[in-house]
A and B are shown apart, each in its own frame.
Chain A
């Protein structure tokens, strides 16, 4: 019953280092999303994907890149980490249920990233 799995759960980086966050879903969902959550704010969309091989920018895409080479995986990359990217990152996946006319996002447990 995995659902949406994010790795790693915690990470500390130094300014300028790079890293990749992995999101994997086993529900065959078409849509995948990367959000960041900062204190006192709602989640903000970084990038999203509407299907394998596609990506699009969200509200706060600067400093991040993404890839969706396989339908089940959505990678978020930080090429040169900055202290402003200290945040909790959430991945979500969803699909459009035509019969029920609904689309619900399912979330991973989050990754806490600190950039020193």
Chain B
């Protein structure tokens, strides 16, 4: 079975600091996709960043970047220059093409940015 594990239930950092959220996954597939979604208090799920497993280069989106280690099945999210608006739940998710693009989700990490 494919699983996604987020080992940090909650983290807090000061505004402007850098924070890294961890995610590991388990799969026997070779072709898959990984995502980080953000869920602010408004409850809306917002895509932060995605990574294709066949790409060695780590994805980046402005202040957000990932460290994708395929052999270790690790997919961490780094937020640089953190802002108060980054306070949210962050979910790591995994998708394979063979599964009709179903997402398998981690339990989430609550990130609090302190002023």
Chain A residues with CB under 8 Å of chain B are 31, 33, 40-45, 48, 50, 56, 58, 88, 90, 92, 94, 96, 101-107, 109-110
| B interface residue count range (under 10 / 10 to 19 / 20 to 34 / 35 or more) | 20 to 34
On whether A102 and B100 interact (CB within 8 A), knowing A42-B4, A44-B105, the answer reads no
Cβ-defined contact, B42 with A109, below 8 A: yes
Cβ-defined contact, B107 with A31, below 8 A: no
Q: How far is the CA of A92 from the CA of B45 in the complex (A)?
A: 10
> Which of B47, B101, B105 contacts A96, CB < 8 Å?
B101
Q: List 12 A-B contacts (CB under 8 A).
A: A31-B101, A33-B103, A40-B107, A42-B93, A56-B100, A88-B43, A90-B45, A92-B45, A101-B52, A103-B95, A104-B50, A107-B45
Cβ-defined contact, A102 with B33, below 8 A: yes
Cβ-defined contact, A102 with B50, below 8 A: yes
Cβ-defined contact, B102 with A48, below 8 A: yes
Q: How far is the CA of A90 from the CA of B101 in the complex (A)?
A: 16
Cβ-defined contact, A109 with B103, below 8 A: no
Find chain B residues with CB under 8 A from A40 CB: 9, 107
> Which of B4, B46, B52, B101 contacts A94, CB < 8 Å?
B101
On whether A104 and B4 interact (CB within 8 A), knowing A45-B102, A94-B101, A96-B101, the answer reads no
Contact with A along B68-79 (1 / 0, CB 8 A): 000000000000
On whether A42 and B102 interact (CB within 8 A), knowing A88-B43, A90-B45, A104-B50, the answer reads no
Least CB distance from B40 to A in Å reads 11
Cβ-defined contact, B91 with A42, below 8 A: yes
Nearest A residue to B91, CB-CB: A42
Q: How far is the CA of A96 from the CA of B42 in the complex (A)?
A: 28
Find chain B residues with CB under 8 A from A44 CB: 105
On whether A105 and B103 interact (CB within 8 A), knowing A42-B91, A90-B45, A110-B43, the answer reads yes
Q: How far is the CA of A96 from the CA of B35 in the complex (A)?
A: 15
